[in-house]
């Protein structure tokens, strides 16, 4: 059994929460940490990074990687797709943030597609594929 699972299973299971704290207490701790980091680095832009910023970035990244707006909608718990569509416009990724693959045979093309690559075009008999780089190995 994984060591992390053992640790989690050893936590007291009496309440609803694994970590007995409120959202406001965690948010307060985050704001204090953010303020210290901004002061130490001299970068006041850090003060603009909120907990919601992480939620928005994660949703944007998930949409970019999967192109599945309904999956993002479900994970965020949105009732209306219009709220989720906002996440598709936040970040623009450059070409350097893609993995690329090539294929010369139908079998190689099938392998690229099953590995999550998208077909882009064909040049001189070589099929070109790409997929977004993963930022988290989950």
> Is the Cβ–Cβ distance between 118 and 106 less than 8 Å?
no
As given in the structure block, the two tokens for residue 63 are 């949409």
User: Does position 13 have pLDDT exceeding 90, yes or no?
Assistant: no
Strand blocks (E) in 2-138: 98-103, 118-123, 126-132
Tens of pLDDT along 51-82? 888 888 888 888 877 778 899 999 999 999 98
As given in the structure block, the two tokens for residue 10 are 């050893």
pTM exceeds cut of 0.75: no
63 by Cβ neighbours in 10 Å (0-12 / 13-18 / 19+) ranks as buried
Domain boundaries, the chain: 3-88, 95-132
Among candidate residues 30, 72, 25, 22, the one with its CA nearest the CA of residue 51 = 30
Tens of pLDDT along 89-132? 655 655 567 888 999 999 999 999 998 888 999 998 999 998 87
Q: What is the pLDDT of residue 83?
A: 86
């Amino acid at each position: 059994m994984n060591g992390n699972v053992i640790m989690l299973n050893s936590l007291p299971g009496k309440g609803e929460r694994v970590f007995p704290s409120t959202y406001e207490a965690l948010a307060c701790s985050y704001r204090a940490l953010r303020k210290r980091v901004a002061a130490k680095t001299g970068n006041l832009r850090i003060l603009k990074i909120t907990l919601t910023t992480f939620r928005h970035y994660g949703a944007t990244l998930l949409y970019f990687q999967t192109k599945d707006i309904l999956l993002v909608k479900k994970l965020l718990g949105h009732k209306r797709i219009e709220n989720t569509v906002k996440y598709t416009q936040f970040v623009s990724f450059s070409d350097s943030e893609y993995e690329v693959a090539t294929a010369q045979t139908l079998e190689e093309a099938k392998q690229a597609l099953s590995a999550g690559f998208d077909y882009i075009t064909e040049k001189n008999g070589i099929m070109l594929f790409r997929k977004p780089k993963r930022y988290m190995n989950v």
